Structure 1
Amino acid sequence: MTTTQRLIRLTRRPSGLPAPDDFTLAEAPFPKPGPGQVLVRNTHFHVFPGLRTLIGGETRDVPLPPLHPGDTLLGPAIGEVVDGPLRKGQLVLHLQGWRDYATPAVDECRPLEGILPDPVAHLAQGSAAYGSLTRLAEVRKGDTVFVTGAAGAVGTLAGQIARLLGAGRVIGSTGSPDKARRLERDLGYDATVLRGAAPIGAQLAEAAPDGIDVVLDTVGGEQLIAAVHAANPGARFALVGALAGQLSPDRAGGSAPTELDTYRLVTRGIRIAGYRGTDHPDVEPEWETRFGDWLRSGDIRFPYTAFRGMERAREALPHLIAGRAFGAAIVEL
């Protein structure tokens, strides 16, 4: 009988960006479910950039608690029910990742009933991209769409979704020539702009000579500034993330100031809105149905970088922040 389990704890609040030594692979007593709880053996969990904010302690307006030294990390996870009120062997989605076994309450578990052909795809971050492109930016046939952070968990799906919704040209941004090639070769992006190469504004002008109609922004900063200048009259901007702030060594993950040209916003009638999933409860089931259909037909791919084993989990967030992941970052147990 197993008497202990492995988990990842925050060792100390990082000075600057997180490093592997800021986390500890620890052993803890094997958990026992209490009344109304389910014992789940985790198989996969998602490493999301928002952990940087939780670790930094700047959690105002964030629906998750801050993490303190000694706390076990958390995040979306998939696992198999071992004991409790749910059927033994049932796959469930919950938020107690970063450990071998979890004990979420029954109402904190979502049974996975085969809507998607691969259960791991439930860890995809496509819902925000789909909701943004259908509810806020409202992609129209023939639109030119610009996706910032195109090689990330949201961006790798956003470009494909935009194309399936009728976009005529899809442009992405990334910081790596290799990722740019993969975006164009594997995920259907027409062009990419490289962060840190020529000025992004000049690259956008070349990639989108007729301007941009839709922007899905996961980054902010200079990329959002350049997108405003490249926008056509009536362009629609959907803000999904703020990685420029979350991944800055000079910030704690809870802010991302950007100076936009409000004159351009007014004279071009540009619409900018931030996307919150809680404002659109109908999006998730709609997205899952379409995502499942697109996966089965081969019209969409779910790219992710796998970190195999709890032994490598300490590296996962630093690797993600350093830009070494393509698509989602997922730990496989």
Structure 2
Amino acid sequence: MFVSTQIQLAARPQGWPTHDDFRTVQVTHGPLQDGEVRVRNAFVSVDPYMRGRMNDTRSYVAPYALGETVTGGAVGRVVESADPSLPVGTAVLHQHGWSDAVQAPASTFRAVAEIPGVPLSVHLHVLGMTGLTAYVGLTAIAGLREGDTVFVSGAAGAVGSSVGQIAKLLGAGRVIGSAGSAEKVDALTSRYGYDVAFNYKDGDVRGQLAAAAPDGIDVFFDNVGGDHLEAALDAFNDGGRAALCGAISGYNTTTRAPGPDNLANVITRGLTLQGFTLAGYLHLAPEFTQAMTGWFGAGTIAYDETVVDGIEHTVDAFLDMMRGANTGKMLVRVDG
């Protein structure tokens, strides 16, 4: 018998998700077939983009189906195998999502290298998709140049904490970040390579950014949208570039938010605002992996994890992450 505990989407959230929008089920799997493997997860990822997939609307990827397991990143270890390419004990990364165990074709898993003394969870953030997102946004989208002043919203999250460090390593002259607590602001400057940071809850974001960047900004890496985007539009120098990665400020709204009141700056200052998702930039993964492996091995990359224990607390972790309770990557530890 091979039984897994899985978290499914039971209802489409209206505004902020609640526990009633999810259900936990036990799934009994049949005999292992040729070409299949069984994996016990070590860590499961919860990410802001998942909120968008809970809505039945057009997006860059299909919405989650009601009554189906919430898919997303997870990392674990093969415990039984009917495919010689993934023998028992292999550490694997996959997108089967919110469950403590998985039985599926070996082709849906990717073996990952284990780093002595480093948890497998790093493959879900700094060495994985969040690190790649930061790299793609800065290089392929924003075209970071040496000496640029960079502003990052949501800077203490999984992506933002990588953006600041990568920007400095690629030659940015000044990196500015916003976060939602004094502790996170301190982490930005003491751990993540930011030159200056501010707490957006302390008041007017435009005013705080103007004080932090008296000579303006050249690049904006946006995870938040809303008032942060407006602030960046005010602060941009001529020819500024924005990599629009997320807009978490509006993910749980039930009404349409008004657009920026200073959008004309895009015209008068010759700005470029480009949204992106990783699907079109996966060809940069080898380039990123080579660079990040070198930086990570040299000890120049810091990371933090906010870990919630137990697959049964996955929804708690997701809701806490949406409220900004995490510093660095929010994870569920399935197998301690």
TM-score of the pair, normalised by structure 2: 0.90
Q: Please give the residue correspondences for 1:285-324 in structure 2 after superposition, counting only pairs within 5 Å.
A: 285-324=286-325
Partners of 2:191 and 2:53 in 1: CA distance:
33
Q: CA RMSD in A?
A: 2.1
User: What per-residue deviation string (whole Å, max 9, x for no partner) do you get for residues 116-146 of structure 1?
Assistant: 9653211111101101111121222221100
Q: Please give the residue correspondences for 1:226-237 in structure 2 after superposition, counting only pairs within 5 Å.
A: 226-237=231-242
Maintained 8 Å contact 1:42/1:97? no
Displacement of 1:11 in angstroms is 3.5
Q: Please give the residue correspondences for 1:245-284 in structure 2 after superposition, counting only pairs within 5 Å.
A: 245-246=250-251, 248-250=252-254, 258-259=259-260, 261-284=262-285
Q: Aligned with 1:42: secondary structure?
A: strand
User: What per-residue deviation string (whole Å, max 9, x for no partner) do you get for residues 225-265 of structure 1?
Assistant: 1101100111111111121222x2426xxx87633533211
- Match of residue 87 from structure 1: 87
Maintained 8 Å contact 2:156/2:179? yes
Cα 1:66/1:256, change in 2 over 3 Å: farther
Partners of 2:257 and 2:307 in 1: CA distance:
28
Cα 1:61/1:77, change in 2 over 3 Å: same
Partners of 2:10 and 2:235 in 1: CA distance:
44
Matching residue's letter, 1:210: D
User: Are 1:77 and 2:81 an aligned pair?
Assistant: no
Partners of 2:20 and 2:286 in 1: CA distance:
39
Higher relative CO (Cα under 8 Å, sequence separation at least 6) belongs to: 1
Matching residue's letter, 1:15: Q
Partners of 1:168 and 1:307 in 2: CA distance:
36
Matching residue's letter, 2:73: P
Partners of 1:3 and 1:114 in 2: CA distance:
26
Displacement of 1:115 in angstroms is 7.7
Maintained 8 Å contact 2:180/2:199? yes
User: Are 1:133 and 2:144 an aligned pair?
Assistant: no
Cα 1:211/1:275, change in 2 over 3 Å: same
Displacement of 1:281 in angstroms is 3.0
User: Are 1:197 and 2:197 an aligned pair?
Assistant: no
Matched-pair identity in %: 38
Matching residue's letter, 2:81: D
Partners of 1:266 and 1:328 in 2: CA distance:
36
- Match of residue 5 from structure 1: 4
Aligned residues: 326
- Match of residue 18 from structure 1: 17
Cα 1:260/1:54, change in 2 over 3 Å: same
Matching residue's letter, 1:106: A
Partners of 1:274 and 1:146 in 2: CA distance:
16
Partners of 1:150 and 1:173 in 2: CA distance:
6
Partners of 1:31 and 1:19 in 2: CA distance:
32
- Match of residue 247 from structure 2: 242
- Match of residue 54 from structure 1: 53
Partners of 1:123 and 1:31 in 2: CA distance:
29
Partners of 1:137 and 1:53 in 2: CA distance:
24
TM-score of the pair, normalised by structure 1: 0.91
1:157 pairs with one of 143, 157, 162: 162
Matching residue's letter, 2:122: A
Displacement of 1:92 in angstroms is 1.2
Q: Aligned with 1:272: secondary structure?
A: strand
The more displaced of 191-200 and 126-135 is: 191-200
Partners of 2:155 and 2:27 in 1: CA distance:
38
Unmatched 5+ residue regions in structure 1? none
Cα 1:111/1:216, change in 2 over 3 Å: same
Unmatched 5+ residue regions in structure 2? none
Q: Aligned with 1:282: secondary structure?
A: helix
Displacement of 1:21 in angstroms is 4.0
Q: Aligned with 1:56: secondary structure?
A: coil
The more displaced of 30-39 and 103-112 is: 30-39
- Match of residue 67 from structure 1: 65
Partners of 1:32 and 1:276 in 2: CA distance:
37
